[in-house]
Amino acid sequence: MIINTKYRTDEPETMDDFAMEGDILREALDKIAKINQLLGGNQLTLLGIQHLIAEIPSTKEITILDVGCGNGDMLRMLSEFGLKNNLKFKLIGVDANAFTIQHARNLSNYYTNITYLCQNIFEASFEELKYDIVLCTLTLHHFKEEEIIQLMGVFNVNSRIGIVINDLHRNVIAYRLFQALCVVFRLNKMSKEDGLISILRGFKKEDLVRFSKKLQFVNYSIMWKWAFRYQWIIKKDIAIIADK
């Protein structure tokens, strides 16, 4: 089968259904989190955060919002990292699926600095949230270009320090690699199909450059990372924040 990755696909994923719930979804969320950890995805996002806060005094509380938080594994990792490094993190996870949010809460019972919100990020209430850093890990590819531009605009307005995007490289090798991972991790049918669609909904560097120009970002970087990811960091002017 020939795979064409020239353009992003608009094919929907099963997990895009916000009403979905049950064991199949729970298994998919946990497997996605596990694969992301093993392939270094969490570490990639953490490196982006460290880059953004390098000039921020460690005594300042930093509010980090994780959009499309899934089972909350990223936030739990950040909570532990903050504790070990004497950093004051206030962590918020957002997801539109109520079952997903409840699963994340159940797994995060002992993390006192994490809260979760069940919220549609395209509703007006989301635009009222303020935060220092916003994360979007393996979530941005779920949206069409006009939605991405809208969402990134909201992130840019409401974040005080910056934005960290960690998402898939639309690439034939990545597609074939994931097919192999499906066998290794014994992914269920939904996870297999959604994962392959995700790669075809992923990005090439020129996509992210085009978005950055449309949004008039000035201080940003786009770097390819293993395993077939792009790290897109947008850094705000933090001089005022550091003085507070």
pLDDT tens digits for 7-27? Answer: 999 999 998 898 999 999 999
pLDDT attached to residue 243: 46
User: What does the block give as tokens for 214?
Assistant: 């449309």
Res. 106: pLDDT tops 50: yes
Going by pLDDT thresholds of 50, 70 and 90, the confidence category of residue 238 is low
Distance CA 238, CA 62 (A): 12
Which residue did the predictor score with more confidence, 195 or 241? 195
Check whether 146 has a pLDDT greater than 80: yes
9: its two tokens:
């696909």
Torsion of CA 91, 93, 98, 100, to 10 degrees: -110
Query: Is the pLDDT assigned to residue 242 strictly greater than 60?
Result: no
- The whole-chain average pLDDT of the chain stands at 93
- Distance in angstroms (rounded) separating the CA atoms of residues 144 and 147: 5
Average pLDDT value for residue range 111-117: 98
Where residue 41 falls among pLDDT bands split at 50, 70, 90? Answer: confident
Q: Which residues contact 113 (CB under 8 A, 6 or more apart)?
A: 79, 82, 89, 90, 91
Has residue 143 got a pLDDT over 50? yes
